[in-house]
Structure 1
Amino acid sequence: MAENTGIHALPITVEYDGRSITITPAVVETNRGLVLLDVGPEGAVGPLETHLTSLGYELADIWLVVLTHHDGDHAGGLAELVERVDAVVATHREEAPYVSGERDPIAGDGDRYPPVDVDLELADGVRIPTLGGPMAVVATPGHAPGHVSLYFPDGNLLIAGDALVADGSEGKLAGPKPRFTPDMDRAMESVGSLAALEVDHTLCYHGGYVDRGSKRIGEIYDRRRE
């Protein structure tokens, strides 16, 4: 990902659910400061802070946190973050009850992360101005009821969350994992929605950056019944 776009991938390796995983939150520069896209699980704030320092920023520069969805590996570290920074917390309206503690997370055994109030409920089509151009919220339900992806039309960049994964040794772009996707049919319809966008490159939370876009996403959608 080009550094001058103002969009930065922040790959970190953390312990989650008894194992070590590599995840890829992202941060986007705006005139107001930074927008953080997903936090990571509990314990992720320290590694995120290290990344931001290397970019010349501090945690305090984060003014908005956008959660693609409520799973613990995306939102578990949110409580620690908002204890340290005065940031607005945003997610889709269908994800908000899980983040705020009104409902237990769908994935998990009841041992949930600390709940955090949601300040802003997002909807499909909302656009947030950034230095990389408008960031559009794209509803991509299936992996979670209110899962969203983020699309930057100025650079044809898709930040997919868990709607897609970069799977395999060569970072091949693939569809959502059935094992972790409660509503696979709906998730694949979301893949179809993403295929309709003009995407040249994709950032997945699991697997990181892939230099693939609409053509590959369309192939994933077309093979959904195989």
Structure 2
Amino acid sequence: MKIKELPIKFEFNGQNNYIYPSLLISNNELTLIDTGYTGFLHLIENEILKHGYEMKHLKRIIITHYDDDHIGSLYDFKEKYPWINIIASDLEAKYISGEMKSERLIQAEQKLENMPEEEMEFGKWFIQQLKNLKHVPIDEKVQDGDMILDNKCRIIATPGHTSGHISLYIPSLKSVITGDAAVKENQELVIANPHFCLNIEKAEQSLNKIKSLHAEHYYCYHGGKLTLVEA
């Protein structure tokens, strides 16, 4: 099994930004972790092709949690590649499939009620972004400790950023794919955007949980890969 980091460059508010979805390669099958914002299908496709892989080998997509920068292009992937198996946690599956109104949308609507006037425009735009997300059924629901991908990858429940957030641990590669349970800042793992965390205490516990795995490589969706070499 191998992990490839997919650096996706985009512009937001006049500034260059990056996200880093991960690609797992095992037995010539590809597994994509998270799908970027709406409209990012071609950006991610191009990055996969750049590594020499074919899209026909993309067999599954794992979604770490419901946020517009993680599930934005999920519908487009499923529409273009209908054979793809979509995997998410029990709880996040309810939001992604549209069974329940997402926690993020509820949070955004509540924040709008007391938002300063100068932030109101962004708040309304963000709510509309969430409302525009297209729902997609989940093919496989997973829980903490489940082993997937021929028992090579363990699901790690990492709530806090959202309630059903998951990260992935690949013991043979001493690697963790963090989603938004951690970001890389100044060569350290820290909590992702505390302002948006639904439960900061649980987010701290989840950060400690993935740190306690003592992995050598942490693939962060925001900030990119962090390699820790113990002295």
How many pairs does the alignment contain?
Answer: 207
Partner of residue 140, structure 1: 158
Alignment partners' CA distance in 2, 1:43 and 1:187: 29
Q: What is the aligned partner in structure 2 of residue 101 from structure 1?
A: 98
Residues 1:176 and 2:192 aligned together: yes
CA deviation profile, 1:67-117 (whole Å, cap 9, x unmatched): 000111000100000111120111000101110112233334152311100
Equivalent of 1:35 in 28, 31, 34: 31
Q: TM-score, normalised by structure 2?
A: 0.82
- RMSD of aligned C-alpha atoms? 2.3
Runs of 4+ in 1 over 6 A off after TM superposition: 16-19
Is the CA contact 1:65–1:87 (under 8 Å) kept in the aligned structure 2? Answer: yes
2-structure distance, mates of 1:78, 1:206: 18
- Note the alpha carbon deviations across 1:26-68, whole angstroms, 9 max, x for none: 1111226111111111111101111111122222211111000
Q: Which residue, 99, 118, 142 being the options, matches 1:122? A: 142
| Residues 141, 42 of structure 1: alpha-carbon distance in 2 compared, 3 angstrom cutoff | same
TM-aligned CA deviation for residue 15 of structure 1: 5.2
**TM-score, length of structure 1 as denominator length:** 0.84
Q: Is 1:203 aligned with 2:219?
A: yes
Structure 2: which 5+ runs fail to align? 106-126
Residue 64 (structure 1) aligned with residue 80 (structure 2): no
Q: Find the aligned partners of 1:157 and 1:213 in 2 and give their Cα distance.
A: 12
Deviations 1:105-140 (A, max 9, x none): 33341523111001110111111236xx81111000
Contact 1:63 1:88 in 2 (8 A): yes
Q: Percent identity?
A: 31
Alignment map for 1:48-63 (pairs within 5 Å): 48-63=44-59
Of 189, 198, 201, the residue aligned with 1:185 is 201
Structure with higher Rg: it is 2
The CA deviation string for residues 142-171 of structure 1, in whole angstroms up to 9 with x for no partner, is 10111000111112111111000112xx44
Change (3 A) 1:107 1:15: farther
